[in-house]
Amino acid sequence: MDTDHGAPARGEDLRRAELGAALEAVRARVARAEATAGRAPGSARLMVVTKFFPAGDLARLIDLGATEFGESREPEAGRKVAAVRSELPGVAFDVDMIGSLQRKKAKTVARWARRVQSVDSPDLVDALARATAAALEAGARVQPLGMLLQMSLDGDPTRGGAVESDLPALADAVTGHDGLLTLDGLMVIAPLHGEAEAHLAHAAQIAERFRARHPAATELSAGMSADVESAIAHGSTCVRVGTAIMGPRPLASQ
């Protein structure tokens, strides 16, 4: 696996140490936030967002004990996952699609993703159901594809997501594909403007109402590097952390 363009062993050691220290620091933040919120240890899982970073970093993080990862660009994500699975056969790890997804990319995403966290339209649901059926038939996956409905708190169409009034119909679209898709919960990306605390509190209220109708949809994916503590205080079950672990985005991707 060509992961680091021929980086010397010393550079490999430094990068692993850097990732290890950052991962432990964020794990400590999550643990403190759980304790402060009176939540059980492990009730908020840490997802490392590895978009833009090489497959070698994902492999290092797996070696350091990370098991959940978020990617947002296809085909970059598909190639990266395939490379790591080839390099580490039999090693279990999960990767979710967390970014905006075009329907034409559904076929490939359904072959590697545990979940799609950015489901925001019935058309995308239908495309993912068809892609999952094909992947199951081909043996490229063995389980239904998980769905998190991306909710929009401000109605900004450029950032994706469905407003609360559209969530019931979107949930029905997912449950209509029983055996192919599972309705696992909700995902939110905080709006660009306003206080993160207020946005996360609003998201928690929406999630509570949603779970009343869909008790099995227990996931709330909320919070990133800057607002881990607030997200956990408001019930997030999955915090998606990139920069605080991975560091600045590689120059080649900027």
In whole angstroms, what is the distance from residue 232 CA to residue 200 CA? 9
**pLDDT confidence of residue 253:** 64
Determine how many CB atoms are found less than 10 A away from the CB of residue 210. 21
Q: Which mean pLDDT values do the consecutive 10-residue runs of the chain (254 residues) have?
A: 51 91 98 98 98 96 98 96 96 97 97 98 98 98 97 84 96 98 95 87 97 98 96 98 94 59
**pLDDT confidence of residue 5:** 43
**pLDDT confidence of residue 3:** 46
**pLDDT confidence of residue 159:** 80
Domains detected in the chain: 12-246 (3.20.20.10)
In whole angstroms, what is the distance from residue 142 CA to residue 132 CA? 10
In whole angstroms, what is the distance from residue 79 CA to residue 130 CA? 21
Q: How far is CA 210 from CA 62, 113, 171, 188, 204, in A?
A: 33, 24, 9, 13, 10
Using CB atoms within 10 Å of the CB of residue 36, give its burial: 0 to 12 exposed, 13 to 18 middle, 19+ buried: exposed
Q: What is the DSSP letter of 27?
A: H
